[in-house]
Amino acid sequence: MIEVKGLSKRFGDIRAVRDVSFSVEKGEIFGFLGPNGVGKTTSIQMMCGLLTPDSGTIMIDGKELNPDSTEVRRKIGFVPQETALYPDLSATENLRFWGGLYGLKGDALNSRVEDVLRLVELTNRADDKIATYSGGMQKRVNLAAGVLHNPSLVFMDEPTAGVDPQGRFAILNIVRELAASGKAIIYTTHYMDEAQKLCDRIAIMDLGEILGMGSFEELRDQVGKGFQIFAKGDFDGPKLAHQLRKEYEGEVLHSGRGLLAVVVADATELGRFVAAMKAQGVNADDLKIKETDLETVFLKLTGRELRD
Amino acid sequence: MLKVLLKKDFRKLAKDPLSLLFLLALPLVITLIARSVFSPSEGVKFVVPLAVVDQDQTPLSGFITGTLTNEKMASLFDVHSIPLKMAKQQLHDNELAGIFVIPKGFTDQFVNQKPASLELTTNPSRQISTGILQSTFEILTDMLDGIRELFPEQIKVLSEANNLDMEAVFQLGRSAMDKILKEKDLLKFPVTFEEEKSKKKETGSSTNGIILAFLPGIAFMSILFVLSSVFKRQGEELENGMINRILVSPATLNQLLSATLIYSLLMVFLIQVVLWLVSIPLFHLQLFHILLLFKGMVYMSLLATLLNAALFSLPIKLSSIEAFSSIVIILVCLLSGLLVSPLIMPGGLRSMVSKSPFYTPVEVLTRSFTNKSYPLLTSNDAIFTGSVLLLLFLSLLMFRSKINRHRAGKV
Ligand SMILES: Nc1ncnc2c1ncn2[C@@H]1O[C@H](COP(=O)(O)OP(=O)(O)O)[C@@H](O)[C@H]1O
Ligand SMILES: [Mg+2]
């Protein structure tokens, strides 16, 4: 559906996107995972034709992206990071406007508006002003407006940012439903759990680059199944790691001043590691322990926690 | 596409009646202020200091100067009969609003059915007085033309007489004058809307004048409207992702901006019509007053548009542009004497304004556009309105290039 090669963009001195390549098939949910400012929005805007790339190619359905072509624009759905809706208008009025821009009118427009309102479960509030909606509801209408014209490729830029867990759950279900209907979906998020649960494949981004790409299982294999231990305290990370090496088996993901991140394979190893840490005078309260997940992969790839 | 975009704009407007009310209230408030300026009974007493220089020294010229000092006019003009040189000095010192000169040989030319001219020099820093003078001047010349038209034979006879009897010319002028005064009540100042209309019909000139007279006002309103809607609203939409979303759809940037322009003009027309319908009976304002007022506002808007366009091309955040430009616009307008005429300012403020660097250029500009008589629309007005609309268009183009630069990541 879409194939991107060597996409790059700089803003002055900032290299916002560097050499990004990937492809997404019909029915697939492809996730860009990374904290704020790593170039997710910039990438999406280039793929929608809103920004001109400095270099790289974007092929949609085998043809190079021509942002001026109406035919191409009809294929693309865009759910911007911001809630781009008119707050004084109702959901129906907003949707009718966005549908109108795609040439929908009359019965076709009415039935599409009804369809997407049903999809986002807002039929009963359809005639209320957007301004009276909760954040989660607004995001749902925002999403509905992006898929109203039935595009085959949908870009969603952090559609759950700032939404409470319940609201996020509802949005994820909508996205799954859209993918099940055959749309290719490119989805950006800084929520690790979301990428893990929702996306068929994930690209981990940092400083404009894709550092790792694959399904959740493939990515996790980079660190193995097991436990992640993250220690912060008053110690010299590399030195501590060296001393502990005799006591346990595990992989040091990252170490630094007052910082040590380690992955161990199972509960036995974990127990030994914690005991050794205590022996070295590290306070148990300074240890964060959890099963390995995308966060661990991110930590390994970037040396940073996903949520700083 | 334009229809879809416009429909959305009007729907939004319908949801926000308060802003529409505000748009209508704003010009009405300004008009109300204007009324207090114009009305001698309620506001400032308004007398136009005028020098009359009679170089012709004939009974006809004496009659003309006499009309300016008669009791009907005394409430309006403070006439000084002084030499031209002195008058020029006083005008320069802003002590006079104008100098009225009857040049030597005027009576000869007039009586012999040749082009005869009177001279009026106005003080550009006194806009209101200038308007009044020009109107009066126009009535006066119309009147003299009327005399010639009504009594061509007598004038011919007189001109063919070897020895021109000035007394006879004077008598003739007087009787003609009385006749006209009785018939048309022409000297009842200011000229009313209806009189203006009927006069125009009689002389067979185009009735478009009244409609054309709306133009400067429409231009003014469109600028104000576009300033607050295009620059602010489009700016907001650019920042909150709305424009991005529109640009991903089949709608193009040109369509988006065209729709905004059309919407603004339609709105302006609506507001304009309502304003005129309401203000004329409500404030007993006459075409003359409103035109005078609107002209000043058009100049003000011109400044504002230029300023916004200039600010817009700078890499400043949209929200700060708005706040910054409003402050500058108000300051410049105050200092240029366009928002409030220096005439009604207290002394200290008046001298400050007349010394401000904005004052002189604006007044020179004003003068170059106002030296034709009210309330007819002059070709200058049309040119001016055209250039204001052109500027409007240019600002939109700048907005367009701003968005394009934004898209190219250069902002
Ligand atoms: N229009 C722009 N002008 C200059 N810098 C920009 C612009 N848009 C984004 N950037 C910069 O590019 C980087 C990537 O931004 P963005 O793509 O918005 O990240 P994300 O969406 O992942 O949070 C950031 O450092 C941001 O400051
Ligand atoms: Mg972003």
A117 and A145 part of one domain = yes
Percentage of chain A exceeding pLDDT 90: 62
Taking residues A268-296, what's their average pLDDT?
83
Closest CA to B4 of B232, B255, B242: B255
* Partner residue opposite B249 with nearest CB, options A73, A83, A89: A73
Q: Look at residue A203 and tell me whether its pLDDT is greater than 50.
A: yes
* Partner residue opposite B249 with nearest CB, options A11, A86, A101: A101
Q: Give the pLDDT score at B374.
A: 34
Q: Give the pLDDT score at B42.
A: 35
3-state secondary structure of A133: coil
* Separation between Cα atoms, residue B5 and residue B247, nearest integer Å: 12
A59 and A177 part of one domain = yes
Record the tokens describing residue B85, joined without a space: 């040189």
What are the angstrom distances between the C-alpha of B95 and each of A276, B27, B90, B351? 98, 31, 5, 13
The answer to the question of residue B129 being in a domain is yes
Q: A270 with A262: CB under 8 angstroms?
A: no
The larger pLDDT score, comparing residue A182 to residue B365, is at A182
Q: Which domain holds residue A70?
A: 2-220
What are the angstrom distances between the C-alpha of A171 and each of A91, A92, A164, B308? 17, 19, 11, 42
DSSP letters, B85-134, are HHHHHHHHTTS-SEEEEE-TTHHHHHHTTS----EEEE-TT-HHHHHHHH
The answer to the question of residue A116 being in a domain is yes
The larger pLDDT score, comparing residue B146 to residue B242, is at B242
Q: Look at residue B5 and tell me whether its pLDDT is greater than 80.
A: yes
Q: A174 with A143: CB under 8 angstroms?
A: yes
Last residue of a domain, one of A189, A204, A220: A220
Q: To the nearest whole number, what is the mean pLDDT of chain A?
A: 90
A230 and A212 part of one domain = no
Last residue of a domain, one of B152, B178, B203: B203
The larger pLDDT score, comparing residue A184 to residue A250, is at A184
- Of the pLDDT bands very low, low, confident and very high (cuts 50, 70, 90), residue B370 is very low
Record the tokens describing residue B78, joined without a space: 């403070």
Provide the CATH number for the domain around residue A231: 3.30.70.1150
* Separation between Cα atoms, residue B249 and residue B361, nearest integer Å: 47
- Most A CBs within 10 A among B249, B252, B411, hence the mutation to make, goes to B249
How many whole angstroms from its chain centre is CA B386? 15
Q: Look at residue A45 and tell me whether its pLDDT is greater than 80.
A: yes
Last residue of a domain, one of B183, B203, B223: B203
B280 and B349 part of one domain = yes
- Could you tell me which chain A residue has the CA closest to the CA of B1? A101
How many CA atoms, within 13 angstroms, populate the side-chain half-sphere of residue A193?
Answer: 7
Record the tokens describing residue B121, joined without a space: 């020099």
Q: Give the pLDDT score at B407.
A: 66
A97 and A236 part of one domain = no
Q: B139 with B186: CB under 8 angstroms?
A: yes
The answer to the question of residue A304 being in a domain is no
Percentage of chain B exceeding pLDDT 90: 2
- Of the pLDDT bands very low, low, confident and very high (cuts 50, 70, 90), residue A300 is confident
Q: Give the pLDDT score at B386.
A: 60
The answer to the question of residue A279 being in a domain is yes
A202 and A276 part of one domain = no
Beta strands in chain A, from DSSP E residues, in sequence order: 2-11, 14-24, 29-33, 55-60, 63-64, 76-79, 153-157, 184-189, 201-206, 209-214, 227-236, 251-264, 287-291
* Partner residue opposite B15 with nearest CB, options A10, A89, A103: A89
> Atom of ligand 1 at shortest distance to CA of A42?
17
B25 and B55 part of one domain = no
A48 and A154 part of one domain = yes
Whether chain B has a CB inside 8 Å of the CB on A88: the answer is yes
Indicate which residue's Cα is closest to atom 20 of ligand 1.
Answer: A37
Q: Give the pLDDT score at B225.
A: 55
- Of the pLDDT bands very low, low, confident and very high (cuts 50, 70, 90), residue B103 is confident
Q: B250 preceded by cis ω (within 30°)?
A: no
* Separation between Cα atoms, residue A188 and residue A200, nearest integer Å: 13
- Of the pLDDT bands very low, low, confident and very high (cuts 50, 70, 90), residue B118 is confident
- Could you tell me which chain B residue has the CA closest to the CA of A53? B408
Contacts of B281 (CB under 8 A, 6+ apart): none
Tens of pLDDT, residues B220-277: 555 555 555 556 676 677 777 888 999 999 998 888 878 877 877 677 666 666 666 6
Taking an 8 Å cut-off on Cβ atoms, the answer to whether A100 and B407 are in contact is: no
Taking residues B92-116, what's their average pLDDT?
82
B310 and B366 part of one domain = yes
DSSP letters, B129-162, are HHHHHHHHHHHHHHHHHHHHHH-HHHHHHHHHSS
3-state secondary structure of B338: coil
Q: Which domain holds residue B357?
A: 13-43+205-407
Provide the CATH number for the domain around residue B79: 3.40.1710
How many CA atoms, within 13 angstroms, populate the side-chain half-sphere of residue B143?
Answer: 27
Whether chain B has a CB inside 8 Å of the CB on A43: the answer is no
In eight-state DSSP terms, residue B75 is T
3-state secondary structure of B173: helix
B37 and B62 part of one domain = no
The larger pLDDT score, comparing residue B325 to residue B67, is at B67
Total domains, chain B: 2
Tens of pLDDT, residues B32-75: 554 554 444 433 445 788 898 888 888 778 877 887 777 666 76
The answer to the question of residue B8 being in a domain is no
Provide the CATH number for the domain around residue A169: 3.40.50.300
A211 and A157 part of one domain = yes
B166 and B240 part of one domain = no
Q: Give the pLDDT score at B213.
A: 40
B178 and B271 part of one domain = no
Largest CA distance in chain B: 87
The larger pLDDT score, comparing residue B124 to residue B385, is at B124
3-state secondary structure of B334: helix
Q: Give the pLDDT score at A25.
A: 95
Task: Match 């996205």 to its residue by tokens.
Answer: A175
Taking an 8 Å cut-off on Cβ atoms, the answer to whether B246 and A102 are in contact is: no
Total domains, chain A: 2
Q: Give the pLDDT score at B94.
A: 77
The answer to the question of residue B1 being in a domain is no
Whether chain B has a CB inside 8 Å of the CB on A265: the answer is no
Q: Give the pLDDT score at A265.
A: 84
Residues touching ligand 1 (Cβ under 6 Å) are A 11, 14, 16, 34, 36-42; B 409, 411
Share in percent of chain B as helix, strand, coil (round to 5)? 70, 5, 25
The answer to the question of residue A280 being in a domain is yes
B149 and B215 part of one domain = no
The larger pLDDT score, comparing residue B182 to residue B184, is at B182
Taking an 8 Å cut-off on Cβ atoms, the answer to whether A97 and B15 are in contact is: no
Taking residues B395-402, what's their average pLDDT?
71
Q: Look at residue A53 and tell me whether its pLDDT is greater than 60.
A: yes
Q: Give the pLDDT score at A160.
A: 93
Separation of CA A42 and ligand 2 centre (Å):
7
Strands of the sheet with A55-60, listed across from one edge: A14-24, A2-11, A55-60, A63-64
- Of the pLDDT bands very low, low, confident and very high (cuts 50, 70, 90), residue B278 is low
- Could you tell me which chain A residue has the CA closest to the CA of B244? A50
The most confident of the ranges B91-100, B164-173, B177-186 is B91-100
Q: Give the pLDDT score at B380.
A: 46
Taking residues A263-285, what's their average pLDDT?
82
A78 and A107 part of one domain = yes
Four-residue CA torsion sign, A221, A222, A224, A226: negative
* Separation between Cα atoms, residue B17 and residue A30, nearest integer Å: 45
Q: Look at residue B356 and tell me whether its pLDDT is greater than 50.
A: yes
B187 and B224 part of one domain = no
Record the tokens describing residue B179, joined without a space: 């006749």
The answer to the question of residue B87 being in a domain is yes
Q: Give the pLDDT score at A307.
A: 52
A27 and A166 part of one domain = yes
Last residue of a domain, one of B148, B176, B203: B203
The answer to the question of residue B4 being in a domain is no
The answer to the question of residue A307 being in a domain is no
Q: Give the pLDDT score at B204.
A: 29
Task: Match 């509802």 to its residue by tokens.
Answer: A170
B251 and B209 part of one domain = yes
B252 and B126 part of one domain = no
Tens of pLDDT, residues A69-106: 889 999 999 999 999 999 989 999 999 999 999 999 89
The answer to the question of residue A302 being in a domain is no
3-state secondary structure of A29: strand
B134 and B217 part of one domain = no
* Separation between Cα atoms, residue B2 and residue B258, nearest integer Å: 8
Q: Give the pLDDT score at B164.
A: 53
The distance of B390 to chain A (nearest Cα, Å) reads 28
Q: Give the pLDDT score at B162.
A: 53
* Separation between Cα atoms, residue B163 and residue B160, nearest integer Å: 9
Taking residues A205-229, what's their average pLDDT?
90
The larger pLDDT score, comparing residue B376 to residue A135, is at A135
User: Radius of gyration of chain A from Cα atoms?
Assistant: 22
Whether chain B has a CB inside 8 Å of the CB on A53: the answer is no
* Separation between Cα atoms, residue B160 and residue B169, nearest integer Å: 13
Percentage of chain A exceeding pLDDT 70: 99
What b/e string do you get for B41-80 counting C-beta neighbours within 10 Å, with b at 16 or more? eeeeebebbbbbbbebebbbbeebbeebeeeebeebbebb
Q: Give the pLDDT score at A30.
A: 97
Q: Give the pLDDT score at B115.
A: 78
Separation of CA B335 and ligand 2 centre (Å):
46
B18 and B153 part of one domain = no
Indicate which residue's Cα is closest to atom 4 of ligand 1.
Answer: A11
Taking residues A7-36, what's their average pLDDT?
94
The most confident of the ranges A21-25, B123-127, B279-283 is A21-25
Q: Look at residue A305 and tell me whether its pLDDT is greater than 60.
A: yes
- Of the pLDDT bands very low, low, confident and very high (cuts 50, 70, 90), residue A157 is very high
Q: Give the pLDDT score at A209.
A: 94
- Of the pLDDT bands very low, low, confident and very high (cuts 50, 70, 90), residue B347 is low
* Ligand 1 pocket: which of A9, A11, A36, A190 to mutate (most atoms within 8 A of CB): A11
Contacts of B396 (CB under 8 A, 6+ apart): B226, B230, B257, B260, B261
Other Cβ atoms less than 10 A from the Cβ of B204: the count is 6
A176 and A283 part of one domain = no
- Of the pLDDT bands very low, low, confident and very high (cuts 50, 70, 90), residue B209 is very low
A105 and A147 part of one domain = yes
- Of the pLDDT bands very low, low, confident and very high (cuts 50, 70, 90), residue B102 is confident
A112 and A243 part of one domain = no
Q: Which residues surround ligand 2, an ion (CB under 5 A)?
A: A 40-41, 81
Tens of pLDDT, residues B23-32: 666 656 655 5
Taking residues A286-298, what's their average pLDDT?
85
The larger pLDDT score, comparing residue B407 to residue A130, is at A130
The answer to the question of residue A297 being in a domain is no
Q: Give the pLDDT score at A215.
A: 95
* Separation between Cα atoms, residue B344 and residue B38, nearest integer Å: 10
The answer to the question of residue B6 being in a domain is no
Last residue of a domain, one of A188, A220, A252: A220
Q: Look at residue A247 and tell me whether its pLDDT is greater than 80.
A: no
Q: B336 with B358: CB under 8 angstroms?
A: yes
Taking residues B111-135, what's their average pLDDT?
76
* pTM of this structure: 0.67
DSSP letters, A204-249, are EEETTEEEEEE-HHHHHTTT-SSEEEEEEEEEEHHHHHHHHTTT--
Taking residues B7-36, what's their average pLDDT?
71
What are the angstrom distances between the C-alpha of B345 and each of A238, B339, B342, B351? 78, 11, 5, 9
